[in-house]
Amino acid sequence: MKQTKSQKKREQSRQSRLLKYSLSAKTTLLQGLFVTGLTVASSLLAPYLVKYLLDNELSTGAGLRVNFLILVLASYLGTILISAVMRYFSTLLLHKAANKIAMRMQLDAFAHVQKLPIKFFDQLPAGQVVSRITNDTKAVRVLYQVVLAQLMLAGIYALGIYIGLALIDPFLILIALTSVPVMYLLFRDFKGKSAKYNRIYRSKLSELNGNLNENIQAMEVISSLGKEKQIYREFSVISDQVYEQSRNMTRLFSYSAFNATQTIQYLLLAAVLLYFGFGHLTAAYWVPIGTLYVFVDYMLILFNQLNNAMTRVGDLERARSAADHIFELLDLETVREGTRMAPVSTGRIAFENVTFAYDEEAVLKDINFEVAPGQTVAFVGQTGSGKSTIMNLLFAFYQPQQGRILFEGEPLAELDYKSFRRQMAIVLQDPFLFTGTILSNITLDRAHISRADAERALREVGGGQFLERLEHGLDTDVIEKGAGFSSGERQLISFARALAHNPRILVLDEATSSIDSETESAIQSAMRRLEEGRTTLIIAHRLSTIRHADQIIVLDQGRIAEQGVHDELIAMNGIYRSMYEAQSQEIYS
C-alpha cells in the first residue's frame, strides 16, 4: 500500500510540475488547442456534405440541380482545404510550444546542475548527467510536440464523431460505443506494460551513455593496455539489455497497435452493414445510404486516430519516465552557502581543527594552519595524504565534517561562495581548456580583462615564444579540451588565465608536474615576481620548486606531520628530508 501511495504522490507531483512548465507557453498552447478544434470541426463537416448529396439530391429521383451540386462539392472541397490549413497551423503552434517548454526545462536542469555539490559528479558518470539534460528533455519535448497533440486530437475527434452519430441515428451511436470498453482495456494494458518497459529502457539507456562516455574519454588508456575486447564485451552486455527492452516494446506494439484496433474496426463495420442490410431486406426500418457513408467515414477517421494515438502511448510513457529523471535531478539538494558577501581579501586564510571524509574514512584529521597575507605556502606529501583535499575545501567544493575554514577571519560556510571565489584562482595539474580561442580561454569572456591583459599574462608566464609561433596568435582556435596543444602549452594558457584574473589568492595544484623543465623554469621565474603581495598556495610534487616557500606543510595520512621552511625541515631529518633526498637521487641517477 505504501508503494501505491508513493507512486500516486509521484504521479501527482509530475503532473503538477508538467502543468507548471506548460503554463510557460500557455498562450501558444491555447492557440494550438483552438486551431485543433477547428481542424476537427472542418474535417467532420465534410462527410455531412456528402450525406446531404446522397440522401437529398441523388436518392430522390428528381432532376439534379447542377448549380447546387457544384456549390455543395465546392463546399466539400473547401472544408477539406480548411482542415488541411488548420492542421498545419495546429502542428506549428503545438511544436512551437513544445520547443519552448523543453528549452525552459533544459535550462532549468543545467542551471540546477551548476549548483549541485561536487560530490554529485563524483558519484554519477558524466554521460548519465548529459543524458538527463539532453535525451530526457528531448523525450519530454516529444510529450508536448507529438504525444499530447496526437492523443488530444484523437480525443477531440472521438467526441465529435460520437456527437455527430447521435444526431444522425441513435442506434448507430450504440454500435460505435460497443468498442469503447474493449478499447479502454486495450489502452490500459498497453499503457501499463509500456510504462514498465520504458522505465527499464531509460535506465539502461542512461547506463549505456555513461559507459560509452567513459570509454571514449579513456580510449588511449584502453588501447595502450590492450583492453579493447574486454571493454567491447562490457559494452555489449549493456547494449543487449537495451535491445531486449526494445524487443519487449516491439512485441507489445505488434499485438496492440493496428492489429487489435483494426480487428475491432472491421467488426464494427460488419455490424453496421448487417444493420443496414437487414433494414433494407426486411423493410423493418430505413437507413439512408448517406447515413451509412457517414458512419463508415467516421469509423475510418476514428480508428485511424486511435491507431496513431496507440503508437504514441509508448512515447508518452517514455516521456513520463524522462520527466521523472529530470525532476529527480531538479530535486537534488544544491550546495548550501552563506548569504553574506565575502570581505575584500588580503590573502589571510586559516584552517581550524578541520576533519573531512569523502565517504567514511577521514582524509584530513584535525588540520590546523594559518596563512598570512602575501605568504607562499606549499603542501607536500605522498599520494592520498590530503593535499588536493585542502584545496577542495578552500574553494568550498566540499564542507568539512568538523572544524571550520576562515577567510579573512570569517567562517567560509557563512559567506557567498561566488564572492570569495572571485578573489581566488587555481591552476590544476591537468589543465582544462574550453572550445573557443586562446583569448577566450584566458579572459573567459570577463569584461574587465582586455586583449592586452590576456597577451601580457601569457607572456609573463613564459608563453611569448609559443604565442609568436602561432599564425593567428591569441585568435588561434582551441578545440575540445585543447587537443592539438602539448600539455605544457595547455598549462601555459591555464596559468595565463589565472594571472589575468589577478587574484588575491593563487592556488597551484601540482601545476608544474606535467610540463617540461624549460617551461617550468619560465613559469617559476614569472611566479617569483608575481608572489609579492599575493598569497600563493602550492601543492608540490617537485620539492626543488618550493624551497623558497614561507611555509612548507608536510602531510602524512591526513595529518600535519611537519611544518616549517625548507632548511628547518631538512634539519628535522624526517619525512620531508627523506622525500627531498629521494627526488635528488632520481634527478642525478
Q: Over the stretch 156-169, which tens digit does the pLDDT of each residue have?
A: 888 888 888 888 88
- 8-state DSSP, 374: T
Residue 28: CB atoms within 10 A of its CB come to 19
| DSSP string for residues in 385-453 | SSHHHHHHHHTTSS--SEEEEEETTEEGGGB-HHHHHTTEEEE-SS----SEEHHHHHHTT-TTS-HHH
Contacts of 261 (CB under 8 A, 6+ apart): 183, 186, 303, 306, 307, 310
β-sheet with 410-411: strand ranges across: 362-371, 349-357, 402-407, 410-411
User: In the beta sheet, which residues pair with residue 535?
Assistant: 505
Report residue 302 as a C-alpha cell: 476514428
Report residue 392 as a C-alpha cell: 577542495
Check if the beta carbon of residue 523 is closer than 8 Å to that of residue 495: yes
CA 309 to centroid of chain Cα atoms? 28
Q: What is the pLDDT of residue 369?
A: 95
Largest CA distance in the chain: 124
How large is the C-alpha radius of gyration of the chain?
Answer: 36
pLDDT in tens, 130-145: 777 887 888 888 877 7
> Whole-angstrom Cα distance, residue 277 to residue 290?
14
Report residue 269 as a C-alpha cell: 463495420
Question: What are the phi and psi torsion angles at 535 (to 5°)?
Answer: -80, 130
Contacts of 385 (CB under 8 A, 6+ apart): 555, 556, 557, 558
Q: What is the pLDDT of residue 1?
A: 38
Check if the beta carbon of residue 213 is closer than 8 Å to that of residue 130: yes
Residues of the chain below pLDDT 70: 1-7, 57-64, 123-127, 148, 255-258, 314, 481, 511-520, 522-523, 526-527, 529-530, 586-589
Helix (H, G, I), strand (E, B) or coil at 117: coil
Provide the residue type at 385 as one letter. S
User: In the beta sheet, which residues pair with residue 434?
Assistant: none
> Whole-angstrom Cα distance, residue 19 to residue 17?
5
Long-range contacts of 458-462 (CB under 8 A, 24+ apart): 458/492, 458/493, 458/496, 460/496, 460/499, 460/526, 460/529, 460/530, 461/492, 461/495, 461/496, 461/499, 461/522, 461/523, 461/526, 462/492, 462/519, 462/521, 462/522, 462/523, 462/525, 462/526
> Whole-angstrom Cα distance, residue 532 to residue 513?
23
Ranges of each domain in the chain: 13-331, 349-588
Fold of 349-588: Rossmann fold (3.40.50)
pLDDT in tens, 50-98: 888 887 766 555 556 777 778 888 888 999 899 899 989 988 888 888 8
> Whole-angstrom Cα distance, residue 527 to residue 271?
91
Helix (H, G, I), strand (E, B) or coil at 507: strand
> Do strands 505-509 and 559-564 pair parallel, antiparallel, or not at all (unpaired)?
unpaired
Report residue 499 as a C-alpha cell: 594571472
| Nearest to 139, CA basis, from 11, 312, 320 | 320
CA torsion 113-115-116-121 (nearest 10°) is 60
Check if the beta carbon of residue 536 is closer than 8 Å to that of residue 376: yes
What does each C-alpha distance from 82 to 77, 86, 88 come to in angstroms? 9, 6, 10
The H or E element spanning position 91 is helix 66-114
CATH class of the domain comprising 13-331: mainly alpha
Check if the beta carbon of residue 348 is closer than 8 Å to that of residue 408: yes
